């Protein structure tokens, strides 16, 4: 099968074999993140096409990736290469976006706790800012009055529509910390007046939540924001609000390979719920994150030991809370599919056996799957945590001082398939290709190319990060 016709699953399985073959996952580095570059490019293309299909010709649309979902500079550079901007929520994320070459005109700063220094930097650079509160808007009043800026400025609105199924991911609740609460007494009138009095306030922003929030709730938040923008413009007697930032948050299906809901589904839902949104009068900004990357990521880890306790089989692996914190601490809200592979990276065969998949962290609850039917896992096998391209290996939890794993992007090697002539290559190891192997009548060869996204953290780097060079400091205090 050629590289152009390979499905996401086939590409992932080829990448697992190649990662094991090339030593990206081995005894020294027993866990790694793998990113399907083609899958990411296809997701961005699907997003762009979905909005182009419903928007009037000439509508200005900025798709800004939510950096929190994958705070890795090479990923941001790849997305920028596909035409995306960045939505940042801290000075650190802004620095990452700048390092990736994303220009200020394609960057949006959102955060409920922006400092004066962060606001000054954003205005000096020309980064768009959405004020999150009345007090922050007062800070912007002073800053805008003291120096000119090219930044587009707006206000984040909380439509107070209620939660989705995961409370922690719901940002449009009655008491959410985000935005100006639209339904609080006097808030709507204050917001209209705030825009009327400030000619430089030209954008309105809303984001009702992410995983667990149904698209219908998200669309209702957009409708509420659109209606408020229309009210402001009527009060001004012209187009004061020129751009609507409709946030992101499209949920991901973690139960199967299927991508649902799709960007096309959501764009069409918006077109039905808020028909005038796409008539060309308003520019649009989106802030999708998880839905762009989740399906293109895999955490691959070695099985170190296999044991039984109380009649339950347990596979002890190197992928636990340090890479899958949400799944470990809130498994009902964040379940993951787990795939089993053998010592050479081939899909594991055999009758499924209920077993726990445990991580390396030193607490009893470090489990990524409980009583999960899988082919019997043995030492030296591998497990793959699927749909982990967003948040998982880019937001490390440093429990037990476990070093951050390496992350690698992969793609099919040009012009290569899984059939190779005898004698192709002779050596394995990091960056060196070995010859084809026989397996069930098939050949596996060097059909995957990797590039590092983040190199594995060394123990020296971990010690330095933990204050190693400052070791004598506390002893000097009495």
CA distances, 161 to each of 65, 183, 187, 208, 217 (Å): 24, 9, 15, 8, 8
Mention every residue, 6+ apart, whose C-beta is less than 8 A from residue 89: 66, 67, 68, 109, 110, 111
Closest CA to 352 of 377, 382, 373: 373
Region of residue 400 (left: phi > 0; alpha: psi -120 to 50; beta: else): left
R_g (Cα) of the chain, nearest Å = 25
pLDDT in single tens digits along all 478 residues of the chain: 444 447 999 999 999 999 999 999 999 999 999 999 999 999 999 999 999 999 999 999 999 999 999 999 999 999 999 999 999 999 999 999 999 999 999 999 999 999 999 999 999 999 999 999 999 999 999 999 999 999 999 999 999 888 888 888 888 888 888 899 999 999 999 999 999 999 999 999 999 888 888 999 999 999 999 999 999 999 999 999 999 999 999 999 999 999 999 999 999 999 999 999 999 999 999 999 999 999 999 999 999 999 999 999 999 999 999 999 999 999 999 999 999 999 999 999 999 999 999 999 999 999 999 999 999 999 999 999 999 999 998 899 999 999 999 999 999 875 444 443 333 233 233 333 333 344 443 444 448 999 999 999 999 999 999 999 999 999 999 8
What spatial distance separates the first Cα and last Cα of the chain, rounded to whole Å?
70
Residue from 241, 210, 211 nearest 226 by CA: 241
Cα–Cα nearest to 205, from 107, 273, 84, 110: 110
- Pair of tokens at residue 33: 């993140």
Residues near 76 by Cβ (< 8 Å), separated by ≥ 6?
65, 67, 70, 86, 96, 97, 99, 100, 102
Give the number of other CB atoms < 10 A from CB of residue 58. 6
The single-letter DSSP state of residue 206 is: -
Element (H, E) at 179: none
- Residue environment code for 149-188, b if the CB has 16+ CB neighbours within 10 A, otherwise e: bebbbbbbbbbbbebbebeebbbbbeebebbbbbeeeebb
d(CA 21, CA 25) in angstroms, rounded, equals: 9
Beta strands in 366-431 (DSSP E): 367-375, 382-386, 406-412
Q: Convert 102-114 into a string of H (helix), E (strand) and C (coil).
A: CCHHHEEECCCCC
Which residue shows structure tokens 């929520």?
89
Q: Percent helix, strand and coil across the chain, each rounded to 5?
A: 35, 25, 45
Token couple for 178: 């985000």
Going through 251-343 in order, the beta strands assigned E by DSSP cover 283-286, 297-309, 312-317, 338-341
Give pLDDT, residue 412.
Answer: 87
- Total H helices, total E strands in the chain: 12, 20
Nearest CA to 65 out of 314, 305, 367, 287 is that of: 287
**Which alpha helices (H) appear in 22-115, and where do they start and end?**
37-54, 73-81, 91-99
Report whether 185 contacts 224 (CB < 8 A): no
| Token duo for residue 394 | 């880019």
Q: Write down the pTM of the prediction.
A: 0.91
């Amino acid at each position: 099968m050629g590289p152009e016709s390979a499905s996401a699953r086939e590409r992932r399985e080829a990448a697992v074999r190649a990662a094991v073959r090339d030593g990206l996952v081995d005894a020294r580095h027993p866990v790694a993140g793998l990113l399907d570059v083609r899958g990411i490019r296809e997701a961005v293309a699907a997003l762009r096409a979905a909005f182009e299909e419903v928007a009037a010709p000439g509508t200005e649309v900025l798709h800004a990736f939510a950096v929190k979902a994958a705070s890795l500079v090479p990923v941001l550079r790849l997305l920028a290469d596909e035409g995306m901007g960045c939505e940042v929520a801290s000075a650190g994320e802004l620095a990452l976006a700048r390092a990736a070459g994303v220009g200020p005109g394609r960057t949006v700063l959102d955060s409920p706790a922006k400092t004066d220094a962060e606001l000054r930097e954003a205005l000096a650079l020309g980064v768009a800012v959405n004020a999150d509160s009345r007090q922050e808007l007062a800070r912007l009043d002073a800053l805008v009055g003291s120096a000119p800026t090219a930044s587009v400025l707006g206000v984040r609105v909380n439509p107070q529509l209620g939660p989705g199924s995961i409370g922690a991911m719901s940002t449009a609740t009655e008491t959410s910390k985000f935005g100006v609460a639209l339904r609080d007494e006097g808030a709507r009138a204050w917001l209209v007046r705030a825009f009327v009095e400030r000619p430089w306030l030209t954008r309105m922003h809303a984001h009702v939540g992410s995983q667990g929030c149904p698209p219908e709730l998200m669309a209702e938040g957009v409708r509420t924001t659109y209606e408020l923008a229309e009210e402001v413009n009527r009060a001004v007697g012209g187009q004061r609000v020129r751009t609507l930032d409709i946030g992101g948050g499209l949920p991901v299906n973690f139960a199967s390979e299927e991508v649902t809901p799709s960007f096309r589904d959501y764009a069409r839902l918006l077109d039905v719920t808020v028909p005038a949104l796409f008539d060309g009068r308003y520019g649009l900004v989106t802030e999708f994150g998880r839905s762009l990357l989740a399906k293109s990521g895999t955490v691959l880890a070695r099985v170190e030991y296999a044991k039984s306790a109380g009649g339950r089989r347990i596979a002890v692996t190197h992928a636990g809370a340090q890479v899958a914190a949400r799944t470990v601490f809130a498994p009902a809200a964040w379940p993951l599919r787990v795939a089993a592979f053998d010592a050479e990276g081939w899909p594991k065969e055999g009758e499924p056996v209920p077993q726990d998949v445990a991580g390396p962290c030193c607490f009893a609850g470090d489990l990524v799957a409980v009583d999960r039917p899988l082919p019997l896992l043995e030492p030296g096998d591998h497990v793959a945590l699927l749909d982990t391209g967003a948040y998982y290996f880019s937001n490390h939890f440093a429990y037990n001082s476990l070093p951050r794993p390496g992350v690698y992007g992969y793609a099919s090697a040009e012009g290569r398939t899984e059939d190779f002539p005898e004698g192709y290559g002779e050596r394995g190891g990091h960056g060196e290709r070995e010859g084809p192997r026989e397996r069930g009548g098939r050949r596996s060869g060097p059909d995957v190319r990797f590039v590092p996204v983040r190199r594995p953290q060394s123990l020296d780097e971990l010690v330095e990060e933990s204050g190693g060079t400052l070791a004598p400091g506390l002893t000097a205090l009495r």
